[in-house]
């Protein structure tokens, strides 16, 4: 039997498609995918089903698609609770325009410095990055030499990439992750990473 620990591990990070209700700060708000969201995710994968394992956020905008994909192609599915989106506190479920009407400029300030300008009651960004990073580290340990599809959220994908690149949390939101955007990572046992990103709309 080959030593899987010495083989390259392929991780693909797929953000969920558009949820019902359109663009909102919906960290823990558990809206389902819209019909367009389902189509976006199907198009992003282009009919592929060549993974050894699927890992999903527990939130239904990720989990429903992951479940269907896993069942259709008999691929094992694991739910990773640590891959739930960051909690946005009082911003949960609100659109950018609604928040700007309440306090002009607050969303821009958040994107400029998401550490110093957290929404009231939001999950601290360093805590969020730590939980996602712990989940990702366990994933790498659990599936060495395998091909894994992770279906998660923009924040989770940003947290994984910022952790791999040793970026400070304040810089996380410089990374744009589109709905149904796909990011490919390949890593060896020395944790040297190669990246490839594909956007969607």
Q: Give the span between the Cα atoms of 87 and 43, in whole angstroms.
A: 28
Q: According to the model, what pLDDT value does residue 74 have?
A: 98
- What single-letter DSSP state applies at residue 123? P
Q: Give the span between the Cα atoms of 178 and 19, in whole angstroms.
A: 13
Q: Give the span between the Cα atoms of 21 and 100, in whole angstroms.
A: 18
Sheet holding 193-198, edge to edge: 77-79, 53-56, 147-152, 9-15, 182-187, 193-198
User: Tell me: the pLDDT tens digits for 31-76?
Assistant: 999 999 999 999 999 989 999 999 999 999 999 999 999 999 999 9
Percent of the chain with pLDDT over 90: 87
Q: Give the span between the Cα atoms of 183 and 195, in whole angstroms.
A: 7
- What single-letter DSSP state applies at residue 195? E
Q: According to the model, what pLDDT value does residue 192 have?
A: 78
Which sequence spans correspond to the domains of the chain?
A: 8-18+31-86+129-198, 90-122
Q: According to the model, what pLDDT value does residue 115 have?
A: 96
CATH architecture of 8-18+31-86+129-198: 3-Layer(aba) Sandwich (3.40)
Q: According to the model, what pLDDT value does residue 6 have?
A: 55
Mean pLDDT of the chain, nearest integer: 93
Q: How many CA atoms lie within 13 A of 196 on its CB side?
A: 6
Average pLDDT over residues 5-24: 91
Percent of the chain with pLDDT over 70: 95
Of 161, 188, 190, 187, the closest CA to residue 173 belongs to 161
- Say if residue 1's pLDDT is above 80: no
pTM, rounded to two decimals? 0.92
Q: Give the span between the Cα atoms of 29 and 6, in whole angstroms.
A: 40
Q: According to the model, what pLDDT value does residue 194 have?
A: 80
Of 10, 14, 4, the closest CA to residue 178 belongs to 14
Q: According to the model, what pLDDT value does residue 199 have?
A: 66
């Amino acid at each position: 039997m080959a030593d899987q620990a010495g083989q390259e591990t392929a991780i693909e990070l797929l953000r969920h498609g558009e949820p019902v209700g359109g663009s909102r700060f919906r960290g823990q708000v558990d809206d389902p995918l819209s019909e367009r969201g389902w189509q976006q995710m199907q198009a992003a994968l282009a009919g592929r089903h060549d993974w050894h394992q699927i890992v999903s956020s527990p939130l239904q905008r990720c989990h429903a698609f992951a479940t269907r994909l896993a069942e259709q192609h008999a691929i094992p599915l694991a739910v990773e609770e640590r891959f739930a989106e960051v909690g946005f506190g009082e911003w949960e479920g609100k659109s950018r325009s609604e928040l700007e009407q309440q306090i002009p400029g607050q969303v821009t300030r958040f994107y400029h410095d998401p550490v110093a300008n957290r929404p009231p009651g939001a999950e601290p960004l360093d805590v969020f990055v730590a939980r996602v990073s712990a989940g990702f580290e366990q994933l790498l340990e659990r599936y060495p030499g395998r091909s894994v599809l992770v279906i998660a959220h923009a924040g989770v994908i940003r947290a994984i990439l910022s952790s791999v690149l040793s970026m400070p949390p304040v810089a996380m939101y410089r990374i744009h992750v589109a709905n149904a955007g796909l990011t490919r990572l390949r890593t060896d046992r020395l944790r040297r990473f190669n990246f490839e990103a594909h956007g969607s709309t």
